[in-house]
């Protein structure tokens, strides 16, 4: 894997080769990564994984015709062949009126902010094994746990460099660490499983492995002997582990491609409340040590913190250059991409701002409801917003969380769900998308 400086030089050299081959415009993206993963089960080492790879991709433009080609061979001969192949493909490609690089006047000038994305650590496999064993040991020590699916710990580093024919050349590196445990409680047909995981940019930010294991075990034990929940309309409360998925649906519906293709349930709602007036949702690509923090987007535009939803209303769409041209707008610095194909768009570190009441206060007036800790299936229609997913969790009775329940379906429409959403005040920054406990009134629950 190249250093950031060498990766920038390699991407810039590929652009020079493309220009020499007749490209009207071009961009090149290098991604190199290396990772180590350790998996243990029942106190024994089960698997050790080490992977390293690097790939470079080229977009070659001839007018409005373009082609994308990538290679994992970065030798001079391989890159020369890559440019030749991209040029030949571009000559045969259909014209795309929206294709092209990002506007030159919008490119990041100078170095972007330091987002503290790389701590420079390189924990040894032995250290990672110790962490995985400690997590599983703590989980198996909890009464009621009968088996283990194992625990793991991982460490990795990624280098990204982007170069364009209109003068942008920059790169950055990021580190990543993870730890997880998954265990089984109970016996026979009554067995239940649950898990816990943590992901960070800095090694020192990882949770204590014993805490990870203990949380996984306590969740599995709490799910034993699930009952049934009568069907009906009732409040549904989403645990913060699963509530983030609601924002994933929002972000997908805000992307430029969904809006340009008219495949978003948010179309026509630009000037109407989408959430309650007190709801604010923020995207912060500059959060220090954030899991998706980055100084520039996939097209070289500067990233910047932004409210996606303010006082319950959308502030606009998430646009790459192609979708922005199609919509007659300007790109917003939200381009995302891999080494192959054209950029899309998306968000970075997103969170829904905390509310003013505790979780207990949020559920205190619920006579009967559902507290969801797991969602199953992908029953969401991005065009209409219709929402139907399998779920399990706990019944809420008389304002308190009671026994476990399973084999439930929850349904609604995201438009209505967002308007009926109320957050608690227990927001914690642990993931790329973070939410507090969320309550959604009036959902349809199909149980017993």
DSSP 216-256: HHHHHHHTSS-B----EEEEEEE-HHHHHHHHHHHHHHHBH
Domain ranges within the chain, ordered by starting residue: 4-220, 226-448
- CA 33-39-43 angle, to 5 degrees, is 160
Predicted pLDDT at 447? 82
CATH 3.30.2290.10 assigned to domain 4-220? The reply is: yes
CA–CA distance, 322 with 98 (Å, rounded to integer): 5
In terms of Cα–Cα distance, which of 31, 50, 30, 29 is closest to 39?
Answer: 50
The structure tokens listed for 51 are 């992977």
- CA dihedral sign of residues 65, 69, 74, 76: negative
Cβ contact 8:171 at 8 Å: yes
The structure tokens listed for 121 are 């650590």
pLDDT in tens, the chain (448 residues): 899 999 999 999 999 999 999 999 999 999 999 999 999 999 999 999 999 999 999 999 999 999 999 999 999 999 999 999 999 999 999 999 999 999 999 999 998 899 999 999 999 999 999 999 999 999 999 999 999 999 999 999 999 999 999 999 999 999 999 999 999 999 988 899 999 999 999 999 999 999 999 999 999 999 999 998 999 999 999 999 999 999 999 999 999 999 999 999 999 998 889 999 999 999 999 999 999 999 999 999 999 999 999 999 999 999 999 999 999 999 999 999 999 889 999 999 999 999 999 999 999 999 999 999 999 988 899 999 999 999 999 999 999 999 999 999 999 999 999 999 999 999 999 999 999 999 999 999 998 6
Predicted pLDDT at 154? 98
CA–CA distance, 42 with 36 (Å, rounded to integer): 21
DSSP lists the bridge partners of residue 283 as 306, 350
- Going from the C-alpha of 187 to that of each of 145, 146, 191, the distances in angstroms are 9, 7, 5
CA–CA distance, 184 with 177 (Å, rounded to integer): 25
Predicted pLDDT at 270? 87
The structure tokens listed for 170 are 């920059």
Cβ contact 364:354 at 8 Å: no
DSSP lists the bridge partners of residue 193 as 184
pTM of the model: 0.94
- 404-444 pLDDT tens trace: 999 999 999 999 999 999 999 999 999 999 999 999 999 99
Cβ contact 41:148 at 8 Å: yes
Angle, nearest 10°, between helix axes 209-222 and 125-140? 30
In terms of Cα–Cα distance, which of 425, 254, 407 is closest to 329?
Answer: 254
């Amino acid at each position: 894997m190249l250093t950031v400086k060498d990766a920038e030089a390699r991407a810039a050299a590929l652009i020079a080769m493309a220009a020499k081959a007749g490209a009207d415009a071009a961009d090149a993206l290098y991604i190199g990564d290396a990772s180590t993963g350790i998996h243990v089960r029942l106190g024994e080492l089960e698997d050790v994984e080490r992977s390293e790879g690097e790939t470079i991709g080229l977009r070659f433009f001839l007018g409005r015709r373009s082609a994308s080609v990538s290679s994992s061979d970065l030798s001079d001969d391989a890159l020369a062949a890559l440019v030749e192949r991209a040029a030949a493909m571009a000559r045969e490609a259909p014209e795309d009126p929206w294709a092209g690089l990002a506007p030159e006047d919008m490119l990041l000038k100078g170095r972007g902010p330091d987002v503290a994305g790389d701590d420079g650590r390189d924990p040894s496999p032995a250290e990672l094994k110790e962490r995985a064993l400690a997590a599983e040991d703590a989980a198996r020590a909890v009464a009621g746990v009968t088996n283990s699916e194992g625990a793991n710990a991982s460490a990795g580093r990624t280098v990204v460099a982007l170069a364009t024919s209109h003068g942008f050349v920059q790169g950055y590196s990021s580190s990543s660490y993870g730890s997880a445990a998954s265990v089984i409680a109970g016996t026979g047909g009554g067995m239940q499983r649950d898990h816990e995981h943590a992901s960070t940019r800095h090694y020192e930010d990882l949770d204590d492995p014993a805490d990870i294991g203990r949380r996984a075990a306590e969740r599995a034990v709490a799910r034993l002997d699930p009952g049934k929940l009568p069907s009906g309309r009732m409040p549904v409360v989403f645990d913060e582990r699963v509530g983030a998925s609601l924002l994933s649906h929002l972000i997908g519906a805000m992307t430029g491609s969904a809006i340009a293709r008219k495949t978003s349930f948010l179309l026509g709602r630009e000037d109407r409340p989408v959430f309650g007036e007190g709801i604010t949702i923020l995207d912060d690509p500059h959060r220090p040590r954030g899991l998706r923090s980055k100084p520039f987007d996939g097209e070289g535009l500067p990233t910047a913190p932004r409210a996606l939803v303010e006082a319950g209303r959308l502030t606009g769409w998430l646009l790459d250059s192609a979708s922005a041209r199609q919509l007659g707008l300007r790109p917003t610095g939200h381009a995302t991409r891999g080494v192959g194909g054209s950029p899309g768009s998306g968000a970075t570190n997103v969170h829904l701002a905390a509310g003013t009441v505790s979780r207990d206060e949020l559920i205190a007036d619920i006579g009967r409801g559902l507290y969801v800790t797991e969602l199953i299936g992908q029953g969401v229609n991005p065009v209409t917003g219709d929402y139907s997913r399998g779920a399990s969790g706990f019944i809420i009775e008389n304002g308190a969380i009671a026994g476990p329940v399973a084999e439930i379906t929850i349904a609604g429409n995201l438009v209505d769900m967002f308007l009926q959403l109320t957050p608690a005040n227990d927001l914690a920054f642990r993931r790329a998308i973070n939410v507090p406990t969320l309550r959604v009134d009036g959902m349809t629950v199909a149980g017993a």
